[in-house]
Amino acid sequence: MGNAAKIVLVGAASLIVGVYGISLKTVQSTDLQTALSHTTLVQNERAEDAAVRTALERVTRAPLLGKSSTTGTYSALGGGTFSFTYTTHTTWGTATLTMNQSGDTKIIDVTMAKQSTTNPGFRHLVRGQWQVTKYHVRSLY
């Protein structure tokens, strides 16, 4: 094998290793961006849950305080603020939350009901005999 062939062989091998290295770096960058997006999503969900739990706590106390509706503004988990308006009756309540966090505004519509038996758990929002039956998050851009 001549010198020219050896140079071409070494150059080709270097090119293959270089392309492989660049591809690995691209994949790692994409994985990092995916993990960051997922982390942001989970943090936002926890902040929304905390806001809904605060509203639920206010709704459960309302009949004890003789109130059927009110509004409030609080600091949100992870920064920002949220405000809510709620209406409560003897066995059900509704709340509308407006959450401002990191420049994003979300509207959260919550429906709660007084239950004879509740199903507490990580994704079940319960306070006393009151349980969130559903909530919907809309993002305003």
Q: Which tens digits make up the pLDDT trace of 71-115?
A: 778 888 777 888 888 887 777 778 888 888 777 888 888 888 888
pLDDT at position 66, please? 63
Using a pLDDT cut of 90, give the percent of the chain over it.
0
Residue closest to 46 by CA, chosen among 141, 137, 115, 140: 137
Q: What one-character DSSP code corresponds to residue 78?
A: T
Spatial distance between the Cα atoms of 94 and 109, rounded to a whole number of angstroms: 8
pLDDT at position 56, please? 81
Whole-number average pLDDT of the chain: 81
Domain boundaries, the chain: 35-140
**How many CB atoms within 10 Å of residue 62?**
18
pLDDT at position 140, please? 76
What's the average model confidence in pLDDT over 110-127? Answer: 80
